[in-house]
Amino acid sequence: MRRNLPALLSFNGGYVDTAGFVALHGLFTAHVTGNFVTLGATFVFGTAGAIAKLLALPVFCLTVMLAGAVSYRLAAAGAPVLRVMFSAQALVLAFGAVLAIRLSPLTDGDDWTAVATGLTLVAAMAIQNALHRIHLSDAPPSTLMTGTVTQFMLQLADRVGKVQPSASAGPSPLVRMAGSVASFAAGCAVAAGMFRLAGHWCFAVPPVLIAVAVVLAGKERG
């Protein structure tokens, strides 16, 4: 069942990033480096949301460090790392959902309500990024598709041109990358639809997705 985790995480990555972007004044919650671009646009056009975009990167970095340290301690103790850490992510996502729903409509991107909601979601996705890099490093990234699409096209070019027939003839890497991109895109589309239909209640979906990840992680340890 663990083989289904990358697709689920990619769907969640696309979902949370899109929901955060449309509900939190252009804040990228999973792909935090994109906030540099939107921060520049905020300064040019005088739109709201600069505070959360400025704080997103340090919050992301600190949470990744903490998640990494906890993961290594859990692994050393023989604990089921993925189940514990995905459970933590689900709780943080649930807290972010409660903030988004209770404090909506979040009309001012620089108000504490929008900043607190956005940074909570950034922290949740930082946990996912850390877990993916440490424990699912053989799978394509679940929150940033540029590198995956580039690698997919290069491997496709190798197969078509038979530049590396022995090393890249197998379909598995291509299938995994295509599945990751498709799952991420599907998450983006579903998040947009859910926001149109349910407003800030759309944030209730990610905790459920990561709860499923807890189940998929099974009883594997370390």
Contact (CB, 8 A) for 156 and 92: no
Task: Give the largest Cα separation in the chain, rounded.
Answer: 56
Determine how many CB atoms are found less than 10 A away from the CB of residue 193: 12
Residue 7 is given by DSSP the state H
| pLDDT tens digit sequence for 154-190 | 777 777 766 554 554 444 777 778 888 899 999 999 9
Burial group, residue 55, by CB count within 10 angstroms (0-12, 13-18, 19+): middle
Q: What is the pLDDT of residue 77?
A: 94
pLDDT for 220 beyond 60: no
- Give how many domains the chain has, as a whole number: 1
Question: Phi-psi bin for 218: left (phi > 0), alpha (psi -120 to 50), beta?
Answer: left
Which of the two residues, 24 and 33, has the higher pLDDT score? 24
Give domain status of residue 184, yes or no.
yes
Domain-located, residue 30? yes
Determine, yes or no, domain membership for 222: no
pTM: 0.87
77-132 pLDDT, tens per residue? 999 999 999 999 999 999 999 999 999 999 998 999 999 999 999 999 999 999 98
Residue 102 lies in a domain: yes
Residue 48, domain CATH: 1.20.1250
Rounded Cα distance between 17 and 218, Å, is 26
Q: Are 57 and 38 in contact (CB under 8 A)?
A: no
Residue 192 φ/ψ, nearest 5 degrees = -60, -45
List pLDDT tens digits, range 46-64.
777 899 999 999 999 999 9
What percent of the chain stands above pLDDT 70?
Answer: 91
